[in-house]
């Protein structure tokens, strides 16, 4: 069964450094998402992306965050200057374009630890 | 604004059937009901989705009454590996497909 893959599985970064989290969505999917989950808390929506532009973003997704689909297979989340509170699991998801009710499929996440 | 309400936790034993009910009183006409499962340190995994009546797949069944104000996820003959958090989600509106996760139901299966 096709799946969303994320790399790295764990990223440790010094506060203030830039970090790029990578995702390979399911191949025929055209809608892409990033979510995060701080340890012990709910899964939170960050951003949705379609047709090479952001469709929607949450309040969390401020100017320090950006997303990109640099080629036909990768979808990345960049945090420009990391803060301690950015420590979380970051999940990428993708969805089939055939119908708005299609479920989102998630990767197993990148654990981001900011020191 | 909470769109769904489900029990915080449930306990069961291996081999039993588990039913997790979710309330969604304000569900919109176009909304589907979707259930996800999440293991520790993993992403949410899609289990099942339905609009009305009953849906069944190889993993679970989803029962939706006619008024659609609630739904019940049924897991037949659970095993230890079904210990996880289960989330019930409905649509957030016409112009968005973002998912809003609640705290889910933490299911603990005992031997």
Mind listing the pLDDT tens digit of every residue in chain A (115 residues)?
779 999 999 999 999 999 999 999 999 899 999 999 999 999 999 999 999 999 999 999 999 999 999 887 899 999 999 999 999 999 999 998 877 778 999 999 999 999 9
Note whether A57 and A106 are within 8 A (CB): no
Instruction: Name A1's Cβ contacts closer than 8 Å, sequence gap at least 6.
Output: none
A21 close to A110: Cβ distance less than 8 angstroms = yes
Are the beta carbons of B98 and A106 separated by less than 8 Å? no
Structural tokens at position A52: 């090479």
For B43, the closest of A56, A91, A103 (CB atoms) is A91
Asked if A93 and B97 come within 8 Å (Cβ–Cβ), the reply is no
Query: Does residue B55 contact residue B49 with C-beta atoms inside 8 Å?
Result: yes
Contact call for A48 and B98, based on CB within 8 A: yes
- The structure tokens listed for B98 are 């973002």
Q: Which of B44, B58, B95, B106 to mutate to test the interface with A (most CBs of A within 10 A)?
A: B44
Task: Determine whether the interchain pair A43/B99 forms a contact, defined as Cβ–Cβ distance below 8 Å.
Answer: yes
Structure-block tokens of residue B52: 């009305």
B33 near B41, Cβ under 8 Å?
A: no
**A62 HSE (CA, 13 A, CB side):** 7
């Amino acid at each position: 069964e096709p799946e969303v893959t994320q790399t790295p599985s764990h990223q440790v970064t010094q506060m203030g450094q830039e970090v790029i989290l990578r995702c390979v969505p399911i191949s025929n999917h055209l809608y892409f998402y990033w979510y995060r989950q701080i340890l012990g808390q709910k899964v939170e929506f960050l951003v949705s992306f379609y047709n090479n532009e952001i469709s929607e973003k949450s309040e969390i997704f401020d100017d320090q965050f950006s997303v990109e689909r640099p080629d036909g297979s990768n979808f990345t989340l960049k945090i420009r200057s990391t803060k301690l509170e950015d420590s979380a699991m970051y999940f990428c998801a993708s969805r089939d374009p055939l119908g708005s009710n299609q479920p989102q499929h998630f990767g197993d996440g990148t654990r981001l630890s900011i020191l | 604004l909470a769109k769904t309400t489900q029990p915080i936790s449930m306990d069961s034993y291996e081999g039993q059937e588990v039913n997790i009910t979710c309330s969604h009183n304000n569900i919109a006409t176009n909304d589907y009901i979707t259930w996800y499962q999440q293991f520790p340190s993993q992403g949410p995994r899609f289990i099942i989705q339905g609009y009305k009546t009953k849906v069944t797949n190889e993993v679970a069944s989803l029962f939706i009454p006619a008024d659609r104000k609630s739904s019940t996820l049924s897991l037949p003959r659970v095993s230890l590996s079904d210990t996880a958090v289960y989330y019930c989600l409905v649509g957030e509106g016409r112009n968005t497909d973002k998912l809003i996760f609640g705290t889910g139901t933490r299911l603990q299966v005992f031997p």
